[in-house]
Amino acid sequence: MSTQDTARRWNELLAPYYGPDRRRSITQLALTATIFAGLWFTMLWSLRVGYWLTLLLAFPTAGFLMRLFIIQHDCGHGSFFKSQRVANAVGFVIGVLTLTPYHYWRKTHAYHHAHSGDLDFRGFGDIDTMTLREYLALPKNRRLAYRVYRSPLILFLIGPLFHFIIKHRYPWDIPRSWTREWRSIWWTNVALVSVLVVAWLTIGLGPFLLIQIPVTVFSASLGVWLFYVQHQYETTYWYDHPQWDYFEAGLHGSSHLALPKPLQWLTGNIGLHHVHHLSARIPNYKLPACLAATPELQTATRITMVDGIKTMALALWDEKHKELIRFKDVPLALERGALEGI
């Protein structure tokens, strides 16, 4: 089947779920924002009781902040509101809460969607992943650097905090010609400074940070883990550009993360990631119905939370055997002839 025929077939299957339902979008936004605000101010009250309670409350608060990020995400894809102007306004405001400049993130994320699983277009809007051949060609010091980078401590704690708190304030690796994206970055920074000033003048900067820091740590770490397991698993999809296929990458390079129903709701169905990658025009609240009604979507790799935890050790793409492997699997991969015939 040609690429055009494949695109036509997927469009026929997914088209009934395209586009937003205004009532559902507004309801989801209002409910999520209200609960997040209620939890945040409950955390403020909890400081009088004990910081242990504040930290406990930080977990559900971070969960609803992630849910707001999913709404920002859908706004960026144009699937949450029919008016892109409204979507951009909502996305910008949520971006202040999530420390994510909206238009900057929107552009880099679009790049991720356009090139996910393409070995010739890595390193932008994604988690850096090396092939086994590339890793073995490195000098020892650079191998060590990559091993440190792929360690859980860096990937899921230090890295997310660096990315959201520091790099999002000044992403030095994007071109100056991205004027709209740079404006989004600077206006987000201005808004964040304004939030800090208001907090200092009202509740005090100390209480504000005691609340916001754990919420940011938990939401950033869990959010990056979710993003990680949606593409980093043993049988994921990576090909050189001439052999790469957008629809194959969407279906087989994006996982179906099976979460308990409450967590699936809280994370805005983002675990149904293969559906989302096949069409970002489907809003998050329509993804379950689309999956249930489309048998072709049920062939994607299904992983559980336990499986997702196990994938944290994966680090290198074995091009010959088409699998993601751990560092400790390198000798075995070489015995299997992983570099022969590449």
Instruction: Determine phi and psi for 257, rounding to 5 degrees.
Output: -80, 110
The total of other beta-carbon atoms located within 10 Å of residue 16's CB is 13
Q: How far, in whole angstroms, is CA 178 from its chain's centroid?
A: 22
Q: Give the rounded percent of residues in the chain with a pLDDT score beyond 70.
A: 99
pLDDT at 256 over 80: yes
Average pLDDT, integer, range 14-21: 95
pTM of the shown model: 0.94
Nearest to 24 by CA among 102, 79, 73: 79
Query: Can you give the pLDDT at residue 338?
Result: 73
Query: Can you give the pLDDT at residue 126?
Result: 83
Average pLDDT, integer, range 32-41: 98
In one letter, which amino acid is 192?
A: L
Tokens 């979710």, residue?
226
pLDDT at 341 over 90: no
Query: Can you give the pLDDT at residue 70?
Result: 97
Query: Can you give the pLDDT at residue 342?
Result: 63
The total of other beta-carbon atoms located within 10 Å of residue 264's CB is 17
Spatial CB neighbours of 304, under 8 Å, sequence gap ≥ 6: 257, 258
Kindly report, residue by residue over 316-326, the tens digit of the pLDDT.
Answer: 999 999 999 99
Full DSSP string of 135-166: HHTS-HHHHHHHHHHTSHHIIIIIHHHIIIII
For residue 254, give the DSSP letter. Answer: S
Question: Pairing relation of β-strands 314-318 and 256-257?
Answer: unpaired
Query: Can you give the pLDDT at residue 124?
Result: 76
Domain positions in the chain are: 3-335
Kindly report, residue by residue over 135-156, the tens digit of the pLDDT.
Answer: 999 999 999 999 999 999 999 9
Query: Can you give the pLDDT at residue 1?
Result: 62
Average pLDDT, integer, range 262-288: 96
Question: Pairing relation of β-strands 323-326 and 314-318?
Answer: antiparallel
| 58-59-60-62 Cα dihedral, nearest 10 degrees | 80
The rounded mean pLDDT for the chain is 95
Give the pair of three-digit tokens for residue 74.
């859908």
Kindly report, residue by residue over 69-115, the tens digit of the pLDDT.
Answer: 999 999 999 999 999 999 999 999 999 999 999 999 999 999 999 99
3-class DSSP state for residue 256?
Answer: strand
The CA-CA-CA angle for residues 179, 29, 268, to 5°, reads 90
